[in-house]
Amino acid sequence: MDIAHIESLVDLPLYPLSVAPAGEATLFLVRGAAGKRLAVLARPADPLLALFAGEPVERQGWQLLLCLLDGANAESLRACLPWLRPAPLGLRPSAGCGDRIGLATPGHVRAARACPGALPGLGMIFAQQSIREMTRSARSAQAVMDDATWGLFQEGWGVPGAGGAANAPAMGADADHLKTPADIDLCVAAGFTFFTIDPSEHVDGRADDRLEPDLRAAYAALPWSDLDSRPAALLAAYRGRRFAGEDRVWQLDEATLVRAAVKYGRAVAHTARLYRHLAAVMRGPFDLELSIDETDTPTTHAEHVFIAAELRRLGVKWTGLAPRYAGSFEKAVDYIGDLAEFERSFAGHAAIARALGPYKLSLHSGSDKFSIYPIAARQARGLLHLKTAGTSYLEALRALAGFDPPLFREILAFSLARFPTDRASYHVSTRLERVPAPSVVPDDELPALLDQPDTRQVLHLTFGSVLNPEHSFRPRLLAGLAAHEEEHYAALERHFIRHLQPLFGGAGVRKLLSDGGFSAASGV
Ligand SMILES: [Zn+2]
């Protein structure tokens, strides 16, 4: 059924990209007086109508069902339109767009579409949130999934077009920073396909400073049965062993091995435990990423080799790894550190990922690191995952600063007051005295505050306090963004093109993407 015909039957404004056929019926999104509704237009006898809960209306021999955007209807929508279901991405280059508010997906989709050559080779992740972020923003894993589903549906993501199924873009869903089997179970139930295991609590941050007798004692005390080895056997396994790839060779002498094992041995054992749990509950293919980015000291190349070799020995299959790179990856601002040193560090990690995998290198806290994107694109050779989250919340605030200056000022003042408390779990070098007092900035200069690094960090780190459901900011912000959605999407689109284009839009990466990239393989 064409749009003109649909519009003649439905007297509500509709989102034209959302129109999707489902057998004899048509599904689409409309804007009703009380908010968005999923519309199902079908012949009265169509069994599809029974899948959705909504208000039925009779229209010239058609049944029109107007349905709330709730969890049950989202699940039925994914059942009817398979391209809205996330799937494993394997080794294709990929970008994660975490969304703490739940309204950003249309902006992310538009940015991906606006990057020449990025789609369909680039795997996109729209549903992505860590357990920590879910707790801070009071959202369930299911809500994260469903909000992404509605945004994708609105923009017509994946609707089979001219190229048919072969041209369909790939989409995954990332359950980020998982620390326990219970975290995994929640996210498996919600339909996630990409699982990021974070064993950082099991990394020994003191290992680099331990002196001899203490270091040996820590080595002897590793969980050897979990590691399926013995202290002497592990030493023997690495003695004289060469890991080679391209023009590089990595060897771990005894002192290096012992220190690497003390630092990362428990994390390896914990990862293997969670992997086995995940493989048992998923039963099908999935993507697995290991993140050790949130630790105090950088991951050396030798340590990376140790982690990969040990995970492999324990039967873990993974598609991505986030080491702690050289330099500083503070939230919401550009890379802080020496670019030449970063390139040396990153190039070595990328060579290890190709030689001992292949698997992708993942850039966590990857948003706004504009100065390193050319390096990462050059060195990763397509085996790259970008992970972003809070930067989309900042674009929502940028839009807010434009359409509701008083509310933006209130939020900034509140965030400034919260910052000394909320910064506790982050490593940031924010200087509060550089953040202008909200009351002295004229309305038309408020959006530009989102370009000031210290202000960005203040707003970024306090998102959980602002979005706390006990506070009135959340409903006011959501209502404003719903009423001004085009401004919100435009801000996101502009911002994400700046990320996706240098990383995935360059000629070299484009060639990889059109050649099919690295062959797709997945966790199991
Ligand atoms: Zn991370």
Would the pLDDT of 105 be above 90?
yes
Q: Ligand 1 centroid vs 435 CA: distance in angstroms?
A: 26
Taking only the tens place, the pLDDT of each residue in 219-263 is 999 999 999 999 999 999 999 999 999 899 999 999 999 999 999
For the chain, helix (H) and strand (E) counts, in that order, are 19, 15
- As a whole number of Å, the CA-based R_g of the chain is 24
Interval 459-472 mean pLDDT: 94
CA of 136 to the centre of ligand 1 (A): 15
Higher-scoring residue by pLDDT: 68, 5: 68
Tell me if 102 sits within 8 A of 144, measured CB to CB: yes
In a domain, 15, yes or no: yes
Q: How far is the CA of 364 from the centre of ligand 1 (A)?
A: 4
**pLDDT at residue 361 in the model:** 98
Q: How far is the CA of 197 from the centre of ligand 1 (A)?
A: 10
Q: Which residues pair with 130 in a beta bridge?
A: 176
Q: Which helix (H) or strand (E) holds 62?
A: strand 62-67
Question: How close is the Cα of 74 to the center of ligand 1, in Å?
Answer: 28
- Report how far ligand 1's centroid is from the alpha carbon of 291 (Å): 6
Cα 325 to ligand 1 centre (Å)? 12
Band of the pLDDT at 138, cuts 50, 70, 90?
Answer: confident
202-228 mean pLDDT: 96
* Nearest CA-CA partner of 198 in 113, 321, 373: 321
Tokens 């006011």 found at? 476
Share of the chain above pLDDT 70, in %: 95
Per residue, the 3-state secondary structure of 1-61, as one string, reads CCHHHHHHHCCCCECHHHCEEECCEEEEEEEECCEEEEEEEECCCCHHHHHCCCEEEEECC
Residues 75, 117: Cα–Cα separation, whole Å:
31
Other CB atoms within 10 A of residue 359 CB: 25
Tokens of 145: 């999934």
When pLDDT is averaged across residues 492-516 and rounded to a whole number, the result is: 79
Indicate the pairing of strand 25-32 with strand 20-22.
antiparallel
At residue 507, does pLDDT exceed 90? Answer: no
Which structural domain range is residue 412 located in?
405-484
pLDDT of residue 513: 56
Task: Calculate how far, in angstroms, residue 479's C-alpha sits from the geometric centre of ligand 1.
Answer: 30
- Quick one: average pLDDT of 88-97? 97
Q: H or E stretch including 257?
A: helix 254-282
The verdict on whether 176 is a catalytic residue reads: yes
Q: Does position 79 have pLDDT exceeding 80, yes or no?
A: yes
Ligand 1 center to residue 266 CA distance, Å? 19
Number of domains in the chain: 2
* pLDDT band of 165, cuts 50, 70, 90: low
State the Cα–Cα distance between residues 380 and 347, nearest whole angstrom: 7
Q: Among residues 99, 176, 404, 493, which one is catalytic?
A: 176
Report how far apart, in Å, the C-alpha atoms of 202 and of each of 179, 254, 291, 292 are.
Answer: 10, 22, 12, 10
Question: Is 70 within the bounds of a domain?
Answer: yes
- Residue 198 in any domain: the answer is no
The pLDDT assigned to 31 comes to 96
DSSP state of 426: S
pLDDT band at 508 (very low <50, low <70, confident <90, very high): low
| Distance from residue 36's CA to the centre of ligand 1 (Å) | 33
What does the pLDDT average to over 82-98? 96
Looking at the domain assignment, is residue 58 inside a domain? yes
Average pLDDT over residues 98-104: 96
Instruction: Report the pLDDT value the prediction gives residue 163, as an integer from 0 to 100.
Output: 58
Return the percentage of the chain with pLDDT > 90, whole number: 86
> Tokens 């709730």 identify what position?
70
- Beta carbons of 87 and 193 less than 8 angstroms apart: yes
Distance of CA 428 from the midpoint of ligand 1 (Å): 15
Last residue of a domain, one of 80, 107, 134: 80
Of the residues 35, 54, 80, the one at which a domain ends: 80
Q: Does 331 map to a domain?
A: no
Q: Which of 289, 395, 487, 493 is catalytic?
A: 289
Tell me which residue of 503, 507, 521 sits closest to 122, measured CA to CA. 503
Confidence of residue 519 (pLDDT cuts 50, 70, 90): very low
Separation of CA 420 and ligand 1 centre (Å): 22
**Contact 436/455 with Cβ under 8 angstroms?**
yes
Tell me the pLDDT of the chain averaged across its residues. 93
The verdict on residue 432 lying in a domain is yes
Distances, alpha carbon 129 to alpha carbons 49, 174, 330, 469, in Å:
32, 7, 18, 17
Distance of CA 12 from the midpoint of ligand 1 (Å): 42
Q: What tokens appear for 105 in the block?
A: 């997906």
CA of 177 to the centre of ligand 1 (A): 7
pLDDT at 510 over 80: no
Confidence of residue 344 (pLDDT cuts 50, 70, 90): very high
Helix (H) or strand (E) holding 391: helix 390-403
The residues facing 313 across adjacent strands are: none
**CA distance to 134, 259, 477, per residue, from 244 (Å):** 41, 21, 53
- 114 in any annotated domain: no
Structure tokens at 349: 């990690």
Mean pLDDT computed over 45-63? 95
Q: Is 520's pLDDT higher than 50?
A: no
Is 226 catalytic? The answer is: no
Question: What does the DSSP assignment read for 89-114?
Answer: -TTS-EEEE--SSS--HHHHHHHHHH
Domain stops at, among 20, 46, 80:
80
Structural domain includes residue 88: no
Ligand 1 center to 148 CA (angstroms): 20
Whichever domain contains 26, its CATH number is 3.30.200
